[in-house]
Amino acid sequence: MLEIGTEAVDFTLKNQNDEDVTLSDFRGKKVVLYFYPKDNTPGCSAQAAAFASLNAEFEKKGAVVIGISKDSVKSHKKFEEKYSLPFNILSDPEHKVIEAYGVWQEKKLYGKVSMGVIRTTYIIDENGIVENVFTKVKAAQNPQDMLDEISK
């Protein structure tokens, strides 16, 4: 995990429209950067839909929401259309950014151990510095929690 107070790792990844998105392009705004395991799963869908419903509130606070998973651009496009997502969801199939942010970890599910994305949300300030890190977040509650956090 990146430490609070350190510079966020810059990156460029493809979004759901196959366009390059670079983190440093959002300097001057807060960034709510959330990592999630997989498109169209119950928790990830609830989280994305809740971020979508609160997106205007984030924008009023001068913040931008960005989601990242290892799913493909094509998968992200279907996910965006299904849930009318008004923000970038980025594809990291090689886990380069996912690993740089320390969210590719060992997971246990029903006794089975595997590697995967640990649901994590970073708040990055206007200068590109990690302001806060939230691990083990509750998917459906995470968007409201993040809005509350940036409203402090």
Query: Known catalytic residues?
Result: 44
Which tokens is 136 given? Answer: 């083990």
> Tokens 């849930």, residue?
83
Residue type, position 103, single letter? V
Q: How far is CA 7 from CA 12, 15, 38, 142, in A?
A: 16, 23, 27, 23
Backbone dihedral angles phi then psi of residue 139, each to the nearest 5 degrees: -50, -55
Neighbours of 145 (CB within 10 A): 13
DSSP H or E stretch at residue 101: none
Distance, in Å, from the CA atom of 4 to the CA atom of 112, rounded to the nearest integer, reads 32
Three-state SS at 78: helix
